[in-house]
Amino acid sequence: MYKTYPFTLEKLPYDFDALEPVIDAKTMEIHHDRHQQTYLDNLNKVLADKSDLHDKTLEELMLSDIDTVRNNAGGVWNHDFFWKAMIGVNVSHIGDDLAAELRKSFGTVEEFMIKFEALALGRFGSGYAWLVKDGEGKLEVLSTPNQDSPLREGKSPLLGIDVWEHAYYLKYLNKRVDYVKAWWSVVNWGRVEELWKA
Ligand code: MN
């Protein structure tokens, strides 16, 4: 899906207002057209004089030990992942197979959601909460700071929520908890299941 330098911004997989009223159109527009665009522009800028990195994919760059490369590559990748993790309000539901796997890993689906929410709310400052699959296919929840990725720990993201303030502040102000709880109704569970089975 990703080529190499110079990178270009992918379109949102839906209209800005597709997630209303859970995520308002203005937030989606600013989040994609300004925040993600800025990561992309900065990534290209940082890479301009690093010709040894011009054959690297975004996934390779986001594992870099160079902070500016890792942060900006992560900012592009994580947002693309986040857009695809969402779909219109209440149009997607957890399938039987995935529900069974969540019960196996967390006891109940509700317990999974409680643990995921706790990580999303407990992430100090900016970052993401994730449902991931480890190298052996086992599910777990974790959170990462800034634009870091579970891929750095060899874990594949299945679902992720952006808890940077820019993701919710226009509508939810300082109430991250209201955003996180409302967010469940726009999760694209079909995509989660697809990634889990991949
Ligand atoms: Mn964001």
* Residues of the domain holding 74: 25-84
Same domain, 80 and 104: no
> Residues near 84 by Cβ (< 8 Å), separated by ≥ 6?
13, 188, 191
Same domain, 103 and 139: yes
Report the separation in Å between the CA atom of 56 and the middle of ligand 1, taken as the mean of its atom positions: 23
Same domain, 182 and 108: yes
Chain-centre distance of CA 191, in angstroms? 12
Residue 130 lies in a domain: yes
Same domain, 80 and 100: no
Same domain, 108 and 50: no
Same domain, 136 and 67: no
Q: Which residues of 26-43 are buried (b: 16+ CB within 10 A; e: fewer)?
A: ebbebbbeebbbebbebb
156, 150 in Cβ contact below 8 A? yes
Residue 12 lies in a domain: no
Report the separation in Å between the CA atom of 198 and the middle of ligand 1, taken as the mean of its atom positions: 26
Same domain, 65 and 127: no
Same domain, 138 and 192: yes
Report the separation in Å between the CA atom of 13 and the middle of ligand 1, taken as the mean of its atom positions: 16
Report the separation in Å between the CA atom of 43 and the middle of ligand 1, taken as the mean of its atom positions: 15
Give the tens place of pLDDT for each residue, 146-157.
999 999 999 999
What is the C-alpha separation between 83 and 15, in angstroms, rounded? Answer: 11
Sign of the Cα torsion 65, 86, 125, 181 reads negative
Local confidence pLDDT in tens for the 198 residues of the chain:
458 999 999 999 999 999 999 999 999 999 999 999 999 999 999 999 999 999 999 999 999 999 999 999 999 999 999 999 999 999 999 999 999 999 999 999 999 999 999 999 999 899 999 999 999 999 999 999 999 999 999 999 999 999 999 999 999 999 999 999 999 999 999 999 999 999
The CATH number of the domain where 171 resides is what? 3.55.40.20
